[in-house]
Amino acid sequence: MVRLAVCVEDQEPARATLPVTVEGKGDLDDLIAPEPKYFENFAYLLAIGLAQTVSYGLMCLRSPGEADGVRYEGRVWDLGRGALTPAQADRAAELIGNWESTRFLDAYGVQTGEEGDAEAIYSRHLYTVL
């Protein structure tokens, strides 16, 4: 599940939730499929957050825990000035607070390429048919 909140000064936050299904064995050949009926709204809100540099917000990823009896694992990205910046685990916990049975992990970078690039090439495992 990916959640996104985008704020612009003096406005209520706009929010979107995107359920994501992962099928496979937990390796690079897994297929990743966002829920189609929520995808367009999520992508639109993310595009606004990245294009409108006066906006700010958070993007959160929560997935089933892998080990140690942890029910969920969470990662958080700060949205600001047209970029998603990965948050370290302690910062994520501070931003989100108490998120039921969730252990926060360091987030990873999601943006690649040089400034001005309009296109990115991703690994084969990131593509799926909607």
- Write the pLDDT tens digit of every residue in 86-95: 999 998 888 8
What is residue 66's three-state secondary structure?
coil
Provide the mean pLDDT of the chain. 80
Q: What is the DSSP letter of 27?
A: S
Which tokens hold the place of 78?
């700060």
Among 2, 5, 25, smallest CA distance to 14 is for 5
Q: Beta strand pairing status for 72-80 and 102-104? A: parallel
User: What pLDDT does 1 receive?
Assistant: 87
Q: What is the pLDDT at residue 130?
A: 41
Residues 98-121: what's their mean pLDDT? 68
Confidence of residue 96 (pLDDT cuts 50, 70, 90): confident
